[in-house]
Structure 1
Amino acid sequence: MASVKTAISLIAHRDATSPVLDAAGIPAVSAGTCGPDLASAPWEFDLAEALAGTPGYGPGASSSDVAPVSTPRQGQLPQEYKDADDGGLEDRILAAKAALGDRVVILGHFYQRDEVIKFADFVGDSFQLANAAKAKPAAEAIVFCGVHFMAETADMLSGPGQSVILPNLAAGCSMADMADIESVSACWEQLAELYGTEPDAQGRVPVIPVTYMNSSAALKAFCGEHGGIVCTSSNAATVLDWAFERGQRVLFFPDQHLGRNTAKAMGVPLDQMPMWNPRQAWGGTDERTLRDARVILWHGFCSVHKRFNVGQIEKARAEFPGVRVIVHPECPMPVVDAADEAGSTDYILKAITAAPAGSTFAIGTEINMVNRLAAQYPQHTIFCLDPVICPCSTMYRIHPGYLAWVLEGLVRGEVLNQITVPEATAIPARVALERMLAAKP
């Protein structure tokens, strides 16, 4: 099966040579991808953002999300890497890896493009890679082919003297940016006014903050400072159990869908899960609703998983009787309810690995992972619920050119794109992260 990059290139070529015209005779955007810019090289967006003076997420699922001014931007990649073809970049990456040996470890998230993931020493979800960051204490450098919050986490969990590198600084996360330390702190102060700070007769404090791994180091530190914890999609239920033992209710940020789906599966009624919108007074809710709340959900979401809908599931069932539908818990609740199962990326992988030959799967998660699974398990029929190729905008900003650039920098003794979390932030964040690592599902 062709990689996502190859599929996008083929669609772009088809549209350029035989464009589909709309009613006015103007070339229409192909239904094959969520945007024609996906065929462009990531460094074109680095340059465009530099010239405009404003950051962005790039083409893909998050293209319409508004990036805050503080979003990191990538400087210009040297021309030699832009000009190199795929084969040339592969030779340079392999040569640099051979020269560096055990001095470097490359981590790759499941959602990363195939052209990068093939060079990774570890491939996994955010939970697995958080552990992998600790697994090679002798490595001088950890090159994280993922997004910014993941590299921050690796820096906080890595050993002294280890450098964490993000090949493209523009690889952020729009979901993570939907909750910032100022907004969460303001929310926390309002909740303290409402609930007070004293524990109940069972010793449970009024609120426990829980942040999803997809959040900044500052928010992880906030949780560490306020008796809270970090969760991943694979241990969210375990983390909520931990929190309910210690608190009367939970403030869950930034992803509303993971919080709602997890708490609902644990038996928390929907009317006890109000949503907090930081742009509205009292979060857009009222004091009575908040007093009855068990889980207060932040108004955030993943733009990749927001694309999935119940109609796609119905279509898959109609076309493939007996299909097994598995979606990520970042999907909206109606999608999770309509699916057969919901689980983390590692859950999806294990389900496919354990299935009998000839199984059919419709998967609701990022397209790079789904296409890779289809190629790795040809004994099954595996396809993405969303028929439109629309990868994670920020993961797609990592390209072999950037990987070659940072690895060759290490060969020269130069650390490029290092991600460093200030110790004042890292200390309390590590407290919340270590609680997460101990909360094994």
Structure 2
Amino acid sequence: MSSVNTAVQLITREEAEKGLSRAGSTCSPALARGPWEYDLAEALAGEPAYGPGASSSDVAPQATPRQGQLPEEYKKASDAELDARIRAAKATLGDRAVILGHFYQRDEVIQYADFVGDSFQLANAALTKPDAEAIIFCGVHFMAETADILSTPEQAVILPNLAAGCSMADMADEDSVEECWEQLEEIFGTEPDASGRVPVIPVTYMNSSAALKAFCGRNGGIVCTSSNAKVVLEWAFERGQRVLFFPDQHLGRNTAKALGVPLEQMPMWNPRKELGGNDEQQLLDSRVILWHGFCSVHKRFNVGQIEKARQDFPGVNVIVHPECPMEVVDAADSAGSTDFIKKAIAAATEPTTFAIGTEINMVNRLAAENPQHTIFCLDPVICPCSTMYRIHPGYLAWVLEELVEGRVVNRITVDESVQDNAKIALERMLAAKPA
């Protein structure tokens, strides 16, 4: 099976050379271009963006990091040349550098990773290499921040392309959450009830900035992953009367619903509206207050896609990520984290047809690794995570060769004042192990 990048290149070439109309085959033919074209376009426009294929409704904040220009030699290098240079640099650096690759990363980069996993697994993987001088995180910005918080001060965490951010993480910023918190304290007060539970516990998804993790740390809250969200909510309910969950509404809603929380007790908080778009009574009656955030990749999945999969493949096993909308999770056979999806497929002893609702790079890789099964993505349109896709072998070759020369570029650092509180929330998360 060809990689997502190869498929996008072929689709784009066919449309250009033969005039074929394959509208809808890929969410953006611009994905075929080098990411450095977008670095330059953003520099010229003076406006950050998430990259080709991103939803038009995902507007990058002005503070979004931007990538400087990649040296010309890496833009012009062939795939074979980049491969040779990356492997040579890795060999020279040896144990001094470790490369982490997220499940959603393109195959052309993931082939060089020393560890592959989700953001939480990769942050833990970095801890197994305390002697590595550099941790090259082929993921997105919040993941590199988490690795910096959990790694030693002597280790440099590097993000090959600084423009690899996350639109969901950007949907909840520190100022908006602080303002929300102040309004909630005015309504709920700050005193615990008779059983010692405080009025509200903040819970942030791993897909958030270090500043929001620190906010949770200093306000009695915790970080969750898609793997341990259920355990984390149970932890929070033991300590609080209700939960403020951000930034992903869908993970919060799906997890709370599975715990028996009624939908009417899960109001949405829209930071652009007064009281988040609620009245005081709705908030007083709440158990989980959901932030108005979402993942643009997982928002693409819908019930119609599941119905078509069941029609085309009777007996198909539909597995989706809990970042998908509630109606999609309800219509699927099961829902879980990227690691859950991977393990579910590995556990199938007989040839099975799987329809998967998560990012296309991971789905394609699962299909290639499990040829005994039929595995396909629920969304027929090739639309990878636009920000993860900003990382290309050219950037990886550049940061590695700079390390060989004794120079650290694109280092991600979290201020010590932020690190201390963020680490508190992360350590609470580490202790909240799923059964």
CA distance in 2, matches of 1:357, 1:58: 40
The one-character-per-residue Cα deviations of 1:117-161 (angstroms, maximum 9, x if unpaired) are 010011001121121121111100000000000000000000120
2:147 maps to what in 1? 154
2:161 maps to what in 1? 168
8 Å CA contact retained: 1:15, 1:30: no
8 Å CA contact retained: 2:14, 2:20: no
CA distance in 2, matches of 1:118, 1:75: 25
Task: Describe the SS at the equivalent of 2:84.
Answer: helix
**Correspondence 1:217 to 2:210:** yes
1:133 maps to what in 2? 126
**Correspondence 1:436 to 2:410:** no
CA distance in 2, matches of 1:120, 1:74: 22
The one-character-per-residue Cα deviations of 1:189-209 (angstroms, maximum 9, x if unpaired) are 000000000000111100000
Change (3 A) 1:205 1:365: same
CA distance in 1, matches of 2:26, 2:116: 26
CA distance in 1, matches of 2:73, 2:153: 33
CA distance in 2, matches of 1:180, 1:349: 31
Q: TM-score, with normalisation over the residues of structure 1? A: 0.97
CA distance in 2, matches of 1:351, 1:141: 33
Change (3 A) 1:390 1:63: farther
Q: In the TM superposition, what is the alpha-carbon distance from 1:64 to its structure 2 partner?
A: 4.2
In the TM superposition, 1:253-332 aligns within 5 A as 253-332=246-325
**Correspondence 1:375 to 2:368:** yes
8 Å CA contact retained: 1:137, 1:158: yes
CA distance in 2, matches of 1:400, 1:130: 21
CA distance in 1, matches of 2:431, 2:92: 36
CA distance in 1, matches of 2:53, 2:398: 24
In the TM superposition, 1:89-128 aligns within 5 A as 89-128=82-121
CA distance in 2, matches of 1:111, 1:148: 14
- Aligned-residue CA RMSD in angstroms? 0.9
Structure 2: state its 5+ residue gaps.
none
Q: In the TM superposition, what is the alpha-carbon distance from 1:20 to its structure 2 partner?
A: 4.5
1:36 maps to what in 2? 29
2:11 maps to what in 1? 11
Task: Describe the SS at the equivalent of 2:136.
Answer: strand
Q: In the TM superposition, what is the alpha-carbon distance from 1:18 to its structure 2 partner?
A: 2.5
Amino acid in structure 2 at the alignment position of 1:14: E
| Matching residue within 334, 343, 358 for 1:341 | 334
The one-character-per-residue Cα deviations of 1:154-201 (angstroms, maximum 9, x if unpaired) are 000001200000000000000000000000000000000000000001
Q: In the TM superposition, what is the alpha-carbon distance from 1:68 to its structure 2 partner?
A: 0.3
Q: In the TM superposition, what is the alpha-carbon distance from 1:383 to its structure 2 partner?
A: 0.0
Q: TM-score, with normalisation over the residues of structure 2? A: 0.99
CA distance in 2, matches of 1:60, 1:245: 41
Task: Describe the SS at the equivalent of 1:329.
Answer: coil
| Matching residue within 408, 411, 417 for 1:415 | 408
CA distance in 2, matches of 1:257, 1:19: 40
CA distance in 1, matches of 2:222, 2:49: 29
1:88 maps to what in 2? 81
Amino acid in structure 2 at the alignment position of 1:219: L
Task: Describe the SS at the equivalent of 1:321.
Answer: coil
8 Å CA contact retained: 1:62, 1:392: no
Task: Describe the SS at the equivalent of 1:296.
Answer: strand
Amino acid in structure 1 at the alignment position of 2:27: C
8 Å CA contact retained: 1:367, 1:391: yes
The one-character-per-residue Cα deviations of 1:78-125 (angstroms, maximum 9, x if unpaired) are 000000011110110110010000000111100000000010011001
The one-character-per-residue Cα deviations of 1:319-371 (angstroms, maximum 9, x if unpaired) are 00000000000000000000000000000000011102311000000000000
The one-character-per-residue Cα deviations of 1:209-234 (angstroms, maximum 9, x if unpaired) are 00000000000000000000000100
Task: Describe the SS at the equivalent of 1:268.
Answer: coil
Task: Describe the SS at the equivalent of 1:108.
Answer: strand
8 Å CA contact retained: 1:56, 1:63: no
**Correspondence 1:188 to 2:158:** no
